Structure 1
Amino acid sequence: MAASPDESPPSPWVRRFARLIPEHGEVLDLACGSGRHARLLAGLGYRVEAVDRSPLGLAALQGLGRVTPRQADLEDGSWPYHGRLFAGIVVTNYLFRPRLDDLLACLAEPGVLLYETFMVGNERHGRPSNPAFLLRSQEMLGWVQQRGWQVVAFEEGQVDVPKPAMVQRLCATRGTSAVLL
């Protein structure tokens, strides 16, 4: 699915592992921004809840089939997803540790977590540079290993595309998952 001229294309990491999400499941696209991953997932046949605090990106998702846009401040106030379970959770370029347990509790069994964001060392390349928004080395692995989830793929280190950055990427499953790629 092509990106519109004013948005970046879906992450190759998300594109690579999205089909592991159980069929007919609902996917949470957390801090979705302009909805690049919501569009990709909807195009693959998933129902998507796309949440962000900014109404600007969400406006472009209004009326898009299989996508439910939701404006919510994920960092202040009550967690909007207590009791909800999703077959997949997709998060890119976002980290707010105080909500991490709430977020991970929303992954159904079976379910797939696709997460990609910045890590320590990114301050050499620009923003984000605040340690509160940078993962420590192998931090994501700890999140899922303490829960007994299966790590399908994990990467960390410098990337040069779309711009130089230090990132971590994780694909993990909770419970029995689809055939691995």
Structure 2
Amino acid sequence: MAQKDRLKWDTKYSDGHHLIEKGEASFMLKRFYHKAPAKRALDVACGTGRNALFLAEHGFEVDALDISPVGLQRLQGHAEQISGAGTVNCQVVDLDEYSPPKANYDLIVVTNYLNRCLIPKLARELREGGVLVIDTFMVDSRSGAQDFNPDYLLRAGELPTYFDGAFEVLAFEDARKGRCNTALLKQAIAVRKIPA
């Protein structure tokens, strides 16, 4: 599966006209990045890195993970142009096999990617007071976009169910219109790990 995914995304990112990762950083990330207690961040399934670049421009040291070497190469080229104090460290990673280090990040962002088994692992990666932002697509029978695999789409109200009393929900939006050239609606959450 990993090789098939890598080829799929390498092909998309090789096309200069792809739209999936162009544009601004996640609206939820832009609302809450400043709540992170320090400047160590992780961008999961970063693609060509719009979120990683935003964070680096705001002084973060960002680990950017993706399965596509082509996407990461494009990100690295843009990262070298950043005038901010931050850095981007690109890593080719198969997220199905990823075992994150515990309590290593002040901020984690995941957009346009859903791996339900990974969400609890990412929550454990946060340092106390750290912020986790997830912003991705959800099931939407009204959209007419029926060619998406439902395994990779959130159900209504699903994101908050992954976080227990150890987390404060800073914001949650369900059924928000997406901006990535797709008819699918999106769901987004920002949570903060409550200090013990």
Equivalent in the alignment of 1:33: 47
1:74-116: CA deviation from partner (whole Å, max 9, x where unpaired): 01x3x24233521000000000112222222111111001110
Q: Are the equivalent residues in 1 in contact too, given 2:44–2:108 (CA < 8 A)?
A: yes
Give the Å deviation of 1:137: 1.4
Distance 1:48 1:29 in 2: 7
Q: Are the equivalent residues in 2 in contact too, given 1:158–1:165 (CA < 8 A)?
A: no
Distance 1:70 1:123 in 2: 37
Deviates more, 1:90-99 or 1:9-18: 9-18
Report the residue type matching 1:105 in the other structure.
R
Give the Å deviation of 1:15: 1.4
Q: Are the equivalent residues in 1 in contact too, given 2:139–2:184 (CA < 8 A)?
A: no
Asked whether 1:67 is paired with 2:81, we answer no
CA 1:9–1:125 in structure 2 vs 1: closer, same or farther (change >3 Å)? farther
1:42-80: CA deviation from partner (whole Å, max 9, x where unpaired): 0011110000000011112336351100001101x3x24
What is the aligned length? Answer: 169
Asked whether 1:42 is paired with 2:56, we answer yes
Q: Are the equivalent residues in 2 in contact too, given 1:128–1:134 (CA < 8 A)?
A: no
Q: Are the equivalent residues in 1 in contact too, given 2:166–2:194 (CA < 8 A)?
A: no
Equivalent in the alignment of 1:104: 123
Distance 1:108 1:123 in 2: 39
Gaps of 5+ in 2: 1-16, 81-85
Distance 2:141 2:72 in 1: 28
TM-score (norm 1): 0.82
TM-score (norm 2): 0.77
Distance 2:174 2:147 in 1: 16
Q: Are the equivalent residues in 2 in contact too, given 1:112–1:172 (CA < 8 A)?
A: yes
Q: Are the equivalent residues in 2 in contact too, given 1:31–1:50 (CA < 8 A)?
A: yes
The structure richer in helix per residue is 2
CA 1:111–1:130 in structure 2 vs 1: closer, same or farther (change >3 Å)? same
Q: Give the share of equivalent positions with the same residue, in percent.
A: 34
Name the Cα RMSD after superposition: 2.4
